[in-house]
Structure formats: C-alpha cells, structure tokens
Structure 1
Amino acid sequence: MADFKTLHDAPFAGKRVLVRVDLNVPVENGVVSDTTRIERVVPTIRTIADKGGKVILLAHFGRPKAGPDEANSLNFLTTYLADHLGHPVAFAPHGIEASSRAIAAMQPGDVLLLENTRFHSGEEKNDPDFVTALAALGDVYVNDAFSAAHRAHATTEGLARKLPAYAGHSMTAELEALSKALDRPDRPVAAIVGGAKVSTKLELLGNLVKKVDILIIGGGMANTFLAAQGKAVGKSLCEHDLLDTARKILAEAGACEIVLPVDAVVAKEFKANAPSRAVSVDAVEADDMMLDTGPTSIENVASILRRTKTLVWNGPFGAFEMKPFDAGTMAIAKQAAAMTQAGDLVTIAGGGDTVSALNAAGVAAEFTYISTAGGAFLEWLEGKTLPGVHALRNH
C-alpha cells in the first residue's frame, strides 16, 4: 500500500475535501433495502470531519440519460447518511454554481452531499472542462469508491489528476485485501469460480490460472468444462460453442490444479424443491439438469480448503436461490467461514451472487473480506488496471 496516500497522511483542517463515495444503493418502494455501501463510507466521512475538513460527497445513482431527473436524485439519501453518521448532512441541488454556494456556507466538520454526478454530461466522458470546474470546488480529493474505480469518469479518475489525492478507508481496505489475496498471498492459494457462463469469465480464468495454485470451477460454467472432457450434460446450462476454449484453459493451466465436480445434484425441471438425486458426472441422463455440485464434490472441495491458506471466491456452486440446490454453496461457505474464524484461512469474496449466497448462509461477516464492488472486483481479479486506482498511485 506504499503506492497510495491514505487518510492518515492527509492534513484536512479547514480544507474543502471532495470525497467520491458509492451510494448506488438498492431501493425498493422508495426505501433503501441494503445500507452496506452507506455503512462502508461512514469511517472516511468521520475521519475527515473529525480532522476539521469540510466533507463534500460526490456520488452517482442509477443511470440517468438526459440530465437531472427526480427518480435518480440523491436528496433522499441525506436522511440515511445522517442516521449512520449521527451528524446532519446537507444537500446541494444540481449545478456547479449551486454546489459552490452550498460549499461556501460550510464550516469545518460539516458534511454536504452534492446531487447525482451523472446528471452532468461531462461526468462519464471525463470531460476536462467539467473536471476543472469540479476541482475548483475543493482543495483535496479522496476516493472511497473502489466499486466505481473501473470507470475513468470525472469524479473517479479526473479529479485525482487535479488535486492532492488520497485513498479513503474503504478503498484502502479493499486494495489491501485484494493485494493480499493475489499479489502477496499466503500459499497455497485456491480460487472458487462459479456462476452461469464461461463466456463472462474468460479473462478471469486466464488470469487466475497464472496466480493461484488451485482453481475450483463450479456452477453452470463447470458444465461447459465437463462437456469439453466428453461428459454428457443432458439439459444442463452449457456453452457448447466454448468447448474448445475450455479445453485450451485446461491444457494451459500449467502448475495450477483445476478441480471440476465429480458428481452433481440433478433434476428433470428447474424449480424449487423439484425431485432430485445425486449422480456421477458420468451418469447424467439426457433429460437431466445439473443444478448443484454433489456430495462427493463437496467433500473434495472441503479437503482442498483444509490444505489451503488463502481463498478467493467469485460465483456460487449451483442454483443456490432454490432448495435443495443450495447445499453445495452453503456447505462450502460455512466451512470457509469456520476456518477463517479459526485463523486457518484468509477468505476474500466478491460479486453480487456470491455475497447473496454468503448472506443466505449467514456467514458473510465471518469472511476476512467481502467486496461489494461488483465489476471493479471482477476486473481486478482479471488483472486489469483500474483507472480510479491507478490515478491514486504516487507517480
């Protein structure tokens, strides 16, 4: 982490601090259904405010297409922020001039939320004139939105080039966790990669076979690899046009051990509580769908974890949203969590389905680190340079 300036390095007293945060929270019937992203930026806001800085929050929400629209306004989030901070949060309506007036009225320790950055056409274009106008509103820039760091937007990348730039607490924690997982891990390192399709994770698989000692493939994507080995997969989800790609990944794995299921839980129909049975991957019938990894495969993965020191997890083993096809994901999640709590395993997990599965298993809080970053987490695992991270590096 020596490449990044953190909040511990920054003098904030009396400074106008532009803080990029992720407030793109899920909303159902006008109510925030998951406040995790709000909770994660609270420590950064408090640190800056406690040091006498004027905290000016920059965030996007939704995908507005043509400037301001009420449905994507951030105004409603001031109440949630204030509740989590225990401190009032003011709001500035859309526009540089309106923002400037609101900032001029701030006192040290105040917190101000600016309107949705994507209401400005220059945000996603990283327009230099817009970046200059934004930079004039502040003295210091802090990025605490790793989840948006894969976008080269004005508030995620441009401002870091214009102002003294620092990584916030959440950004720092994310970078430290991911670096520990892949750049300087305790070995052996295992990665679980699941989910539906190989096609969405080709770059991820290509990078991981160079980085980890054991690659465990599960979910629907395992079916494509099994088919590539000549196994019958019945009516299971399978990308038959990628069989050659799967064979190439297997052939080029080198020293990386690739682990595929040896048995599966199959059903004739895709619905909750459908009649099911466990069969060898050599005994899948023409009208079977493989919907979860089987008991022997679960024990195989469990034995691998017992000899592993670091685990990176992206993607479930099966259709975990429906019983009984959640068994594989739940069992492995609980073992990984128990080993983490015992100090035997470092566990880093991310991706929407993965986080949902770990929450369903009741073990998310027991992992070493859970990333809420989605696309940025995946691109980091793929080995890509993230513009918002690169811009923070000391040059």
Structure 2
Amino acid sequence: MPELEDLGDVEGKSVLVRADFNVPLKDGEITDDLRIRAALPTLQWLLDRGASVTACTHLGRPKGEPDPKYSVEPVRRRLAELAPGVELLENLRFDPGETGNDPAFVAELCEGHDLYVNDAFGASHRAHASIVGPPTLLPSAAGRLLAKEVEVLLGVREHPGRPFTAITGGSKVSDKLGVLTALLDIADDIIIGGGMCFTFFGAMGHSIGSSLFEEDQVESCAKLLDEHGDRLHLPEDVVGLGPGGKIGDPSAGGEVRNFGRSLPDGWMGLDIGPGAAAAFGDVILESRTVLWNGPMGVFEDRRFEAGTRAVAQAVAECRGFTVIGGGDSAAAVAQFGLADEVDHISTGGGASLELIEQGDLPGLEALRHAPNVAG
C-alpha cells in the first residue's frame, strides 16, 4: 500500500485529502476534536513540503442533499486554527454521488487536483466515491493515520502475542457474528459481554427476562458454544433493571439487582455483574495481546457502568499490547480517564472490525491499484 513518501516531490502540487472529520457536535459546536487532530501529521507533512491541500469529509448522515444541521462549518473553523492553509470542502454526503460511488462525482472531486491521500480509516470500509474513486484517477497514498491503523490491526490479526484475548460487547450478536467467527481463528480466548450475551444465555436455556434477544441467532450461538465453548467466556452474573425502570433515568423507578445467568420476567440485563468483571479481569491481565470492541453494558447510565469500567481498568493494567477497536469502547476508556493507558485506540469502530474480520478494506484495495502502484 503506497504511503506519503511514494508520492514523490509534492511541492506545488494540489493534494486532495480524504479525512474523517465526523466529529460529535452539540448546538453547532464540536464537543471532541480528536478526529481533526488525528489528521494533523498527514496535513502538516504535505504543507511542510509545499503542497496545496484540500481536505474533504462526511459529517453525520444527511440524505444526499444539503442540510444545515450537517454543515462542516464548525469543522472548517477548527481546522483553520489547527492547520492554517488547508481548505475544506462541504459535506461529501450532501451529494448522493458520494454514497452511490457515482463516477461523475468522483471526477468532480478530483478536478484540479494532482494527488490523492486517504487518511480516513474510519470510512475506508465503505465503497464510497471519495474513498475508492480518486485512486482510479490520481496517484494516491495512505496518510499517516490510515497507515498506522492498518499496521497495528493487521499486526494483531496476523501475529499477535499470546495468549491473545478478544473482548466483544455491544447489543447484537448479528452485528458481531462475522468478527466472532474470524476471531475464533486467531484468538485464544473471547470474552462476551453487553446485550449480545443474552442471546447466548437463551441458547443455553436460561431465562433472560426482557433483555435484548435475537431469536434468529440462537442456533448460531448454540453452534459456537458447542464447538468453542471452552474458549468463550460469558458473564457468570449480570445486573438487571426491574419493571418500571427506564435506562438513563434513575428517577423513573425500577429496582437494580444482581442475578446469575437467569433473570425473572420483566427484568432487563444491562451490565455484567461483579463476579463476571473479576473473572474477565483475570483473563485480561494474563494476556499478551488484547483487542476490545464493545462495552459490557449501558455504561452511559452510571447504574450500569461498573462492568465496563472494570474491564477498561483491566485493559489499562494489562502489560500486554492493548488495542481498543473504536466506537463505544473508545468512548468508555475516555470517560473513565484511561485512554492514555492503552497502546492503540482505533478511530474506526466498523472499519477496525471489518479489517480484523476480512484482512482488507475497499479503501485499502483501491490504494493498492492507484496509477502510481498498479501493475
């Protein structure tokens, strides 16, 4: 995969940089500019060598047409402070040609540019126009952020230190089944928490009350348990919210109680229990490689943050190589003040999982076939 040095002399050249500036906004203001700052090494490298740089990004999910709510203007203001001289195009997804990978939109993006750089790891699992289109027309390279993500995640996939423990959470088994199957080929132990554990409990014959449950995934869970049960670590206890309770609103009532793997009718499991947290911590602390994607519970509600906090603490204390696969897990370690204790925090949740699962992404494949490397 070509990197910045493979572009040759960039002085006087116009460079289109696909960044991932999909930052969180509140009342039109950026609440976390991490993704903008993450692109600075690439942008500064180009500027220092005399290139003219135009960045582009998506922001939110506009429906293929301009929407003031998703204007990049707040990003443009912050980018001007951090990287003066870098231009920023309007939200790519204001044009339906972006998600539709329309050749006409690709040509419009590339017009007037000599070179292309993809530094948007978090979007590189999408075959969108700005990701896979420019490398068909322009000499192209991976930016510093993209190259680092690929190096770290493929390193975990292909030659991890052992024992290698993967921690998976989140709500749905269906969202993680592919990566779970892939991880079983490379990991020694897999910890399963979050809402997805209840479908496994259902497959084991436990009552799960009103917890998240995917009936169409029971057979898949049963098969995984039958074939790999000795390597799958499920919670031995869970924390449930009783009838009448409301997630995120303690004032709504509803009792909070610890259970084993079975919950009464009307109760919803929303976190792993203290026994599970301790058991998971023991596995994590003995690992030489840890990959974590997905919280152990609804950590945004303080009543159900203890399990995720305990796992985050164990990952932070682990002496092995630790990787957070973006998304909610990254938000959790930041919330608990542990981000600096992890070796690598990915900027792309979906992209990191797909790279672990598939070993490649559409954006990476496109770069490998750019005019400066093809053939």
TM-score computed with the length of structure 1 as normaliser: 0.85
Instruction: Give the whole-Å Cα distance in 2 for the aligned partners of 1:354 and 1:54.
Output: 36
Could you tell me how far apart the structure 1 residues matched to 2:87 and 2:297 are? 44
Among candidates 32, 35, 40, match of residue 33 of structure 2: 35
Q: Does 1:210 align with 2:185?
A: yes
CA distances 1:218-265 after superposition (whole Å, capped 9, x unpaired) = 0111111112111222232222332212101223338x7111111222
Aligned residue in 1 for 2:279: 300
Cα pair 1:349 1:355 within 8 Å, conserved = yes
**Corresponding residue for 1:104?**
none
Equivalenced residues, count: 363
- Residue 8 in 1 paired to residue 12 in 2? no
Q: Which residue of 2 aligns with 1:143?
A: 118
Q: 5 Å matches for 1:1-395?
A: 4-10=1-7, 11-65=9-63, 67-85=65-83, 87=84, 110-253=85-228, 257-269=231-243, 270-271=245-246, 275-281=255-261, 284-339=263-318, 344-383=319-358, 385-393=360-368, 394-395=373-374
Specify whether residues 71 and 132 from structure 1 end up closer, same or farther in structure 2 by C-alpha distance, changes over 3 A only: same
Contact 1:278–1:294 at 8 Å: present in 2 too? yes
Change (3 A) 1:277 1:353: same
Assess if the C-alpha contact under 8 Å between 2:297 and 2:304 holds in 1. yes
Structure 1 residues 231, 156: CA separation in 2 closer, same or farther (over 3 Å shift)?
same
> How far apart are the structure 2 equivalents of 1:223 and 1:60?
35
1:67 and 1:289 map into 2 onto residues whose CA distance is 40
Task: Report the RMSD for the aligned CA atoms in angstroms.
Answer: 2.2
Does the C-alpha gap of structure 1 residues 68 and 277 become closer, same or farther in structure 2, counting only changes over 3 Å? closer
Q: Measure the CA separation in 2 of the matches of 1:384 and 1:181.
A: 11
CA distance in 2 between partners of 1:293 and 1:156 (Å): 38
Q: Offset of 1:168 from its aligned partner?
A: 0.5
Distance in structure 1 (CA, Å) of the matches to 2:282 and 2:90: 51
Q: CA deviation at 1:121?
A: 4.0
- Once structures 1 and 2 are overlaid, which stretch shifts more, 206-215 or 271-280? 271-280
- Give the residue type in structure 1 aligned to 2:53: V
Q: Tell me how far 1:115 sits from its aligned partner.
A: 2.4
Secondary structure of the 1:55 match is: strand
SS at match of 1:18: strand
Structure 2 residue ranges without an equivalent (≥5): none
- Give the distance between the partners of 1:263 and 1:76, measured in 2 at CA: 45
Shift of 1:351: 4.0
Report the AA paired with residue 266 of structure 1.
Answer: G
Can you list the C-alpha shifts for 1:12-67, whole angstroms capped at 9, x where unaligned?
11111111111222221111112111111111111100011111112223334354
Letter in 1 for 2:112: L
The 2-side partners of 1:323 and 1:76 are apart by 31
Check the 8 A contact 2:154/2:356 in 1, yes or no. Answer: no
Distance in structure 1 (CA, Å) of the matches to 2:71 and 2:256? 47
CA contact (8 A) 2:17 2:117 kept: yes
Higher mean Cα deviation, 44-53 or 67-76? 67-76
Q: Give the partner amino acid of 1:382.
A: E
Could you say if the C-alpha distance between residues 63 and 220 of structure 1 is closer, same or farther in structure 2, counting changes exceeding 3 Å? closer
Q: Distance in 1 between matches of 2:258 and 2:197?
A: 16
Tell me, yes or no, if the aligned pair for 2:97 and 2:129 is still in contact at 8 Å.
Answer: yes
The answer for unaligned runs of 5 or more in structure 1 is 88-109
- Cα distance per residue 1:179-209 (max 9 Å; x no partner): 1221221121111111111122221222211
What are the Cα deviations for residues 242-301 of structure 1, in whole angstroms up to 9, with x where unaligned?
2212101223338x711111122233244455543333325x434433222122211211
CA separation of 1:126 and 1:288: change in aligned 2, threshold 3 A: closer
Instruction: Give 3-state SS (helix, strand or coil) of 1:179's partner.
Output: helix
Query: How many angstroms apart in 2 are the aligned matches of 1:62 and 1:298?
Result: 34
TM-score using structure 2 length: 0.89
Deviation of the 1:157 alpha carbon? 0.8
Within 2, Cα distance between the matches of 1:208 and 1:293?
22
Paired AA for residue 43 in structure 2: I
Q: Once superposed, which parts of structure 1, at least 4 consecutive aligned residues long, lie more than 6 Å away?
A: none
Rounded to whole Å, the distance in 2 between the matches of 1:227 and 1:201 is 17
Secondary structure of the corresponding residue to residue 192 of structure 1: strand
Instruction: Supply the AA of the counterpart residue of 1:277.
Output: R
CA contact (8 A) 1:25 1:35 kept: yes
Q: Is the 8 A contact 1:210 1:253 kept in 2?
A: no
Question: What residue is the counterpart of 1:107 in the other structure?
Answer: none
Q: 1:123 to 1:293 in 2, by over 3 A?
A: closer
Amino acid at match of 2:4: L
